[in-house]
Chains A and B, each alone.
Chain A
């Protein structure tokens, strides 16, 4: 029902109307056949054999003199009832089996899905024939047999969809609030997988009509004299030469019916496919005059590489054209780095794609301004107004670009060397061998380890950092004059980010190209840029040297942005966490942030005592299911957390911080250790007690878009935990929802809205409200502010601090962002490869780090201070290692050394020797 409602709300749903109406008419005809058919379909009239159409018999008579029209109408009844019954039975059996197999896995999966896959290895019509050979034909046999053969396909689809949806954070969130599997399957998962199942249902109905008529045609389906289109075609075929029309009627009926069902299927698919949304209002193309070489009115001043003036770029959207970039102007000089900085939706990436000429065709277009660029040839081009041919010859040769997602920016099916060589061969007339030699030279230049071997590797064999190096090698292969870097380090870990930033700076010194650096991160801006343009809402609100902008921001937005940037070291000399200052975006005036009150109850027994927690995931071989290794995600982790305290877990990808958080709620099952929450060991609880205990410990996830069920109002989402635990009547729950929404800074009447109507920051507030519904004592916040824009991030952090002060909450704050961690936490634990390498009070970790990894991590954090830009940095070139170990790996026994009260550090071995010195 819920799924249907959502369907109805979809504006594209009206495309369903024609095929739905047609299908309805068909069903009506089938049902009313006894009323509207002029004759009994079985009455013989030997005199009228094969009579042509007449007034009495509109469509003529068949070989037994029966009325063709009546038989057609009754045939609809047979066809549709067999097909719909088959579809319904198959769907019921298959979907139940697939959902159970997909959700529970293990033995349920073997029993349901593996069986289904096995059955799919028979062509259905053959098995139907086999069964019919044994039982003889008949309508009931047909329905049962066909259902058995169509069910596996339903099972397979339901299984696949459940597996995909089960990973979503909103399902995880339901488990965290204590919902049982049956409720999750019915209420949370089913509405979200209904669309592909419905598509499959219409496919099966269409296919069943075909198979039924085909079998009847062969004389093996419906038993004569029952009217069936297949039988009618069979009959007509024998008299083809005498009465060709007799063949046309049943064929037309059959094809029309299948066409209607297929059309419905396509329409449903389209409604749920975002790609088919109709876009409106794409502006007319700018007059293509072929660049500026024809008109000599633009000359770039000496030393200027790129000059953007009054750039305007528009996008077609379902509601008409929207300008993503309204009016941007800046100059970029040779050898200089210009940062374009802004939050999401500011138009910074669109600016870079406009310059590169890579705007999505048919969706976006430059509609105003000019982009003057001095090419290697000495000519000046207007990039906003260039024939495709010229644009191609400039791209890759004179202007190159690197992107945010190194993991997906390389083609997975080609070797690294070939992909770099391809860029060279596109612009230079040289041999394959020469191109390969140059590719190797480029790989050396980007200081990738083992460059000869990389040439013949595929992208999936390289880490994200290495792939970004390859992308840089590829971009610089033809020695471009301009490099556009669009958030090139955003997807990377902080130590890898530091390496890539250093590399880009070094290469600029060597090659002397101009760099346009697009980023959202003020820290990175301060690290890399000579000059900066701040963008907001498609416009440049401020431009100047980076130092000026940081020291004396003019525009209120810049001030607000800078105030929200967490700065490492800002907390020196402070004991307790501190709110972020909030700057009014219209006036630029700031409130004075205060230190939060002391919330930590250090006299009481700790709220949470974790000791020797270990969580490992086995990796099985593909062939025999043997355990070939293990991911040592959490290895012998111990810590305490007091009421009202915030402990931050920090580290980079694969360090186990998220798994630690999920282990605390037993969203993953730890292997050993103990988790005492108020003295009760979470790991010793049965399913019901665990559900009860989960009331005290809640979780907020990273992705504010993924952690709310898109098919549920936020009011219901927030009330859900209360309902599941039977804690409130519907009326009381409604009051509570209103109260919670206001508490997180939203309005009570927003409860009726759906998640997609909210921004990222608002959604994260909703998630917090949902977590608070059960009045927990501890909240595990897993990268909860990482995906948010910096100003929104500051607000959500402030909210979390306020709630801690009001309610005495404890937080396990999982984050990779050292600067935010410094701001919010009382204590910090640094994790590496599943282990805590250092733990202590925040001031001690940041002020007096001991472990080489802690030092490396702190050194890698970009400092939002342009003054320090030219100081050489100590950047380790180490890769982040993998926590996957061989099956027989014995974790070493670790010793800890106490540095000062509460601050202890793991005693490290030789592997850190180089870092330690």
Chain B
């Protein structure tokens, strides 16, 4: 078990290192002169003197190996460079916004699990009957509405037409917990709709698989009542795959929240990324991608370890 965790951690560390390298390489591999692109964000040909200065500032005039070495050593010190826009350290900007993104993702995930697992079990239990069909259509529909469309429609309906919710924004929790949570509700729900559809489907199909297993027949042969069979011998065994999928989905949500934060003016990390990309603020984009990919890898690590806790065979090896 310990060996397994150590191994997973080692793999994660290597992955993070490779991500850092890849992020560095992309700057040099992508065709065209990045400096020119960065400077031409507002249109027009950049001033050669300014370009040269930026090149020096980014260290792009030095040999590749040297750039790479200094990049890694700065990373090791937690230095992600300074933003072009406000000249603040990128790490500081991220540290300020990351918790808000995580809060949004966390809230959406909890919401989705609470809705998704029971409904998934319900659909599996009633396979082929009315409730299963209704849920099937509902999840199809939910999966067909992109989050940003849903978010925009939410604002249209709840904020503009019904006027029962604010159109977006952010108030720190310390200032007013109630307003904070109210403002969290809509973006979190917009994200949760798609995720809970995925969880419902995954739970349904895993539960159906487990119901076919021989040990479920054994449980029934013991004379266990159906609710107990379901709880102990079906849902418990189905949790592993469902949690794995949820973990992976949380990872891709790190990307997906970009749009939601943008729409609801939620000042998280991802909305911040959009601004950075628009202004070709490369150090900031690089920093956000690095941090997000690292989180994504760590999240997968946590899911793997969790899964191993659920599976005695992995736990023992």
Contacts and interface: CB of A to CB of B under 8 A. Distances in A.
Contact of A244 (B160, B237, B258): B160
Contact of A118 (B15, B32, B233, B277): B15
A240 B140 contact: no
Interface string B13-41: 00100110011001100111010010010
Interface in B120-157: 128, 140-141, 143-149, 152-153, 155-156
B115 interface: no
Interface stretch (A103-111, A393-401, A694-702): A393-401
Interface in B217-268: 217-226, 232-233, 236-237, 251-252, 254-256, 258-259, 262
A28 interface: no
Contacts of A118: 15, 18
B244 to A, nearest CB: 14
A199 interface: no
Which of B15, B37, B219 lies at the interface centre, i.e. has the most chain A CB atoms within 10 A of its CB? B219
Nearest to B30: A134
Contact of B237 (A401, A411, A461): A411
Interface residue tally of chain B, by bracket? 35 or more
Contact of A258 (B128, B144, B220, B313): B144
A24 interface: no
Contacts of B221: 356, 358, 395-396, 400-401, 475
B74 to A, nearest CB: 18
A622 B7 contact: yes
A413 B214 contact: no
Interface stretch (A93-101, A120-128, A301-309, A372-380): A120-128
A217 B223 contact: no
A129 interface: yes
B4 interface: yes
Contact of A259 (B140, B255, B273, B281): B140
Given A123-B292, A135-B32, A251 B149 contact: yes
Interface stretch (B50-58, B61-69, B177-185, B293-301): B293-301
B255 A123 contact: yes
A564 interface: no
B151 to A, nearest CB: 10
B278 A412 contact: no
Contacts of A254: 146, 149
B316 interface: yes
A134 B27 contact: yes
Interface in A400-435: 400-401, 403, 405, 408-414, 422-423, 426-427
Contacts of B310: 413
Interface stretch (B75-83, B85-93, B96-104, B282-290): B282-290
B6 interface: yes
Contact of B4 (A218, A247, A423, A622): A622
B317 interface: yes
B37 A136 contact: yes
A121 B19 contact: yes
A422 to B, nearest CB: 6
Contacts of B292: 123, 126
A261 to B, nearest CB: 8
Contacts of A401: 221
Contacts of A622: 3-4, 7, 317
B165 interface: no
A240 B23 contact: no
A220 interface: yes
Contacts of B286: 130
Interface in B301-317: 310-313, 316-317
B37 A255 contact: no
Contacts of B3: 622-623
Contact of A131 (B4, B26, B237, B274): B26
A727 interface: no
A130 B262 contact: no
Contacts of B278: 219-220
A233 interface: yes
A263 B26 CA distance: 37
A262 interface: yes
A214 to B, nearest CB: 5
A401 to B, nearest CB: 5
Interface string B198-218: 000000000010000111011
A401 B221 CA distance: 6
A413 B236 contact: yes
A766 B300 CA distance: 48
Contacts of B40: 136
Q: Which of A244, A393, A471 has the largest number of chain B CB atoms within 10 A?
A: A244
A15 to B, nearest CB: 13
B164 interface: no
A247 B144 contact: no
Given A247-B152, A411-B233, A622-B317, A121 B30 contact: no
A255 B145 contact: yes
Nearest to B286: A130
A84 interface: no
A391 to B, nearest CB: 8
Contact of B258 (A129, A362, A393): A129
Interface in A225-245: 233, 237, 240-241, 244
Given A395-B223, A411-B215, A135 B31 contact: yes
Contacts of A206: 144
B161 interface: yes
A563 B243 CA distance: 55
A800 B40 CA distance: 80
A352 B163 CA distance: 64
Given A134-B26, A240-B156, A358 B217 contact: yes
Nearest to A393: B223
A118 to B, nearest CB: 6
A392 B224 CA distance: 6
A214 B145 CA distance: 11
With a 10 A CB-CB cut-off, give which of B281, B286, B293 has the most chain A CB atoms. Answer: B293
A475 B22 CA distance: 58
Contacts of A255: 144-146, 149
B192 interface: no
A422 B200 CA distance: 30
Contact of A220 (B141, B219, B277): B277
Nearest to B292: A126
Contacts of B219: 411, 422
A140 B235 CA distance: 46
A7 interface: no
A123 B252 contact: yes
Given A133-B280, A133-B282, A134-B32, A123 B215 contact: no
B175 to A, nearest CB: 28
A403 B273 contact: no
Given A403-B218, A622-B7, A133 B277 contact: yes
Contacts of B233: 411
A427 B223 CA distance: 8
A458 to B, nearest CB: 4
17 contacts: A121-B15, A121-B19, A126-B273, A129-B277, A130-B23, A217-B148, A258-B143, A356-B221, A395-B220, A401-B221, A408-B214, A409-B214, A413-B311, A426-B224, A461-B316, A622-B317, A623-B6
- 3 closest A-B pairs by beta carbon, nearest first, are A396-B223, A123-B255, A125-B255
Given A133-B277, A214-B148, A623-B3, 10 more contacts: A122-B289, A127-B26, A134-B37, A136-B37, A214-B258, A237-B152, A251-B149, A397-B223, A413-B236, A458-B313
